[in-house]
A and B are shown apart, each in its own frame.
Chain A
Amino acid sequence: MFQALFYKEWVKTRRIIILIGAIFAGIIIYSFINTGQTFRIGGSVQAWADIILKDAPVFPSIIQWLPLLTALLLAFAQFVPEMTNKRLKLSLHLPMPETKIISTMLCYGLVILVIIYLITYIILITGLSFYYPQEIRILAFWKSLPWFIAGLTGYLLATWICLEPVWSQRIYNAFISICILALFFIRAQSGAYLPLLYVLAIIVIIGFGLPFYSATRFKEGKQ
């Protein structure tokens, strides 16, 4: 049954997943071209010094928004069709506990995102090893980690909004979501998020419960 639900989600989202893959592939290529260019123009000493002394970004700045934007794309691709004509009723009518049905759908999205993020990360970090020492790569890892956690959180919040049956409540949920997501994008020195990472992790865990609240409201027939 879990396989069948994963199959349904895959059929629904495969085109978007390919698109997301293409977007990340593009940004990886762009990152390497950008880094190569920096090294060619300024030389490696200058590039390293900028990162260590001036806290210059290792990745192109657009990367910070990509995990969130792609997570939103995936969430909408998964859950807008469920809410169109209230098809979620069909899904909830399947002979499985409703919490398992929603959990499986959420886990599918999270697993897909984590796989895409991990592949991107591994390629980026491996590729950057040709240019930067381990210290700088570790610094880049910690600096970009909140953006990827923001992607997972954004996915859960977008699902919370999509499954909500009442439009006015959706707008309210969207406003709360923007406030929560803003926490992940505060301008700060590299490493400033380190003491807060556990808070971000807690937000993800709490975020997992929010779509269930919307699903319960849907089940009660809120209008």
Chain B
Amino acid sequence: MNTVILCDNITHYYGDKLIYENLSFDVKQGKILGLLGKNGTGKTTIINILNGYLKPRSGECYMFDEDMEHISPATKARIGLLLEGHIQHTYFNVRQIERFYSRFYPNWKNEAYYELLKKLQVTETQPISTMSCGQRSQVALGLLFAQDPDLLILDDFSMGLDPGYRRLFIEYLKEYATAENKTIFLTSHIIQDMEMLIDDCMILDYGRLLLHEPTHYILDNFRRFRFKSDVLEILSADGLWNSEKIGSSWETYSFLSDEEVKKILSQYQISDLKVEKLSLEDAFIGLTGKY
């Protein structure tokens, strides 16, 4: 499989605040990669770096083997970019914006745009500035589909969308990616939506990459362990994530097997051990902590 995105040892600071140190990852063709992280962990920052809108302190990023600072027009035509908040040129109306973008892309499919917009209660002459966030998201998505890019980069696509629009967005994205072997790199705050969409999951914590694994691997192997114990502290151990006392009970998270976790916890005189499978959102909380 070809590598579509490659980030190599990216280190970036805002002032003295470390965002990442030596962050490296890649995205293969045909994959949907979700970048998850709490606020301020640098999700939008990495999208800005990738597209050449931010110069990192050190490191290199490549898209389609081109350096982030020198992406050619031909490669830009292969990349669909959705900015956080579905930002678009709001001074256009529905028809004008399609007319504008169509001149730049050789494979422009205006039927893809208008087909999606049929679902909206808007006229072709309605200014984008008068649309709701959900309607604007559909305009932005329609434009991306009409562009027919090989790589879609979506920054917090679910921001401001109600459940109906989110579901619509996800269904279209999934269909687009699987039917045409497209690559998608996206970030979102709403993790429950990602579960049904992303193949690979990358979780950022403050200053570092916490995890980069296939989504099914996380869902199949990462579990929550609840138990009772009188101890006041459980020492951090290899394989246990975010052990926390809640009332008289404890909970911890792990990729390890039941036996391995029991063995680690045996020193704390635990009782009533319960093992729970997790949704992606719960897994995210387990990996990053609640606070």
**What residues make up the interface of A, taking CB atoms closer than 8 Å to B?**
1, 3-4, 7-8, 11-12, 81, 85-87, 89-90, 92-97, 218-221, 223
Check if A95 sits within 8 Å of B51, measured CB to CB: no
Contact A223 B104 (CB under 8 A): no
* A residues in contact with B48, CB < 8 Å: 221
Main secondary structure of the interface of A (DSSP, over half): helix
Report whether A89 and B51 are in contact in the complex, using a CB–CB cutoff of 8 Å.
yes
Measured in the bound complex, the distance between the Cα atoms of B77 and A11 in whole Å is 23
For the complex of A and B, the 7 pairs showing the least CB-CB separation, nearest first, are: A221-B54, A4-B103, A95-B77, A95-B73, A95-B76, A220-B55, A85-B87
Per the bound structure, the CA–CA distance linking A3 and B99 in Å amounts to: 11
Establish whether residues B83 and A8, one from each chain, have CB atoms under 8 Å apart when the complex forms.
no
CB closest residue in chain B, given A218? B53
Is B262 engaged at the interface, CB distance under 8 Å to the other chain? no
Name which of B89-97, B210-218, B277-285 contacts chain A.
Answer: B89-97
CB neighbours (8 Å) of A11 from chain B are 91-92, 96, 100
B116 to chain A, nearest CB (A): 19
Q: Are A93 and B89 in contact (CB under 8 A)?
A: no
Q: Distance in Å from the Cβ of B136 to the closest Cβ of chain A?
A: 12
Whether A96 contacts B100 in the complex (CB less than 8 A), given A85-B87, A87-B87, comes out as no
Q: How far is the CA of A86 from the CA of B105 in the complex (A)?
A: 22
Beyond A86-B87, A89-B87, A219-B53, list 20 extra A-B contacts (CB 8 Å).
A4-B100, A7-B96, A7-B99, A7-B100, A8-B89, A11-B100, A81-B89, A87-B87, A87-B88, A89-B81, A90-B83, A90-B88, A93-B51, A94-B104, A95-B105, A220-B54, A220-B55, A221-B53, A221-B55, A223-B14
Docked pose: A95 CA to B54 CA in angstroms = 19
Residues of A within 8 A of B100 (CB): 4, 7-8, 11
Residues of B within 8 A of A220 (CB): 54-55
- B85 contacts A by Cβ under 8 Å: yes
Assess the B83–A95 pair: CB atoms within 8 A. Answer: no
User: Which residues of chain A have C-beta atoms less than 8 A from B79's C-beta?
Assistant: 93
Give the residues from 34 to 85 in chain B that come closer than 8 angstroms, CB to CB, to chain A: 48, 51-55, 73-74, 76-77, 79, 81, 83, 85
Q: Does B105 lie within 8 Å of A90, measured CB to CB?
A: no
Known pairs A4-B104, A7-B99, A11-B92; A89 contacts B83 (CB<8 A): yes
Chain B residues proximal to chain A, CB less than 8 Å: 14, 48, 51-55, 73-74, 76-77, 79, 81, 83, 85, 87-92, 96, 99-101, 103-105
| Residue in chain A with minimal CB distance to B140 | A90
CB distance from A105 to the nearest CB of B (A): 13
Nearest A residue to B99, CB-CB: A7
- Set of chain A residues within 8 Å of B91, measured between Cβ atoms: 11-12, 81
Question: Using Cβ atoms and an 8 Å threshold, which residues of chain A touch B89?
Answer: 8, 12, 81, 87, 90
Q: Name which residue of chain B comes closest to A81, CB basis.
A: B91
Residues of A within 8 A of B92 (CB): 8, 11
**Nearest Cβ on chain B to A26's Cβ, whole angstroms:** 26
19 A-B pairs within 8 Å (CB atoms) are namely: A3-B103, A8-B89, A11-B91, A11-B96, A12-B89, A81-B90, A81-B91, A85-B85, A85-B87, A86-B87, A89-B51, A90-B81, A93-B81, A95-B77, A97-B73, A218-B53, A220-B54, A221-B48, A221-B54
CA–CA, A93 and B92, complex, Å: 18
When distances are taken between beta carbons in the complex, the residues of chain B under 8 Å from A95 are 73-74, 76-77, 104-105
- Kindly report which residue of chain B lies nearest to residue A15, judged by CB atoms: B91
> Which residues of the partner chain B approach A90 to less than 8 Å between Cβ atoms?
81, 83, 87-89
Taking CB atoms, residues of chain A closer than 8 Å to B87 are 85-87, 89-90
Q: Which of B74, B91, B100 has the most CB of A within 10 A?
A: B91
What residues on B are CB-neighbors of A94 within 8 Å?
A: 73, 76, 104
Q: How far is the CA of A11 from the CA of B93 in the complex (A)?
A: 10
Q: Which single residue of chain A is at the shortest CB-CB distance from B76? A: A95
Q: How far is the CA of A163 from the CA of B103 in the complex (A)?
A: 25
A4–B104 Cα gap in the complex (Å)? 8
Q: Which residues of A contact B101 (CB under 8 A)?
A: 4
Of B51, B73, B105, the most chain A CB neighbours within 10 A belong to B73
User: Which of these, A1, A81, A86, A221, contacts B103 with CB under 8 Å?
Assistant: A1
Q: How far is the CA of A87 from the CA of B92 in the complex (A)?
A: 13
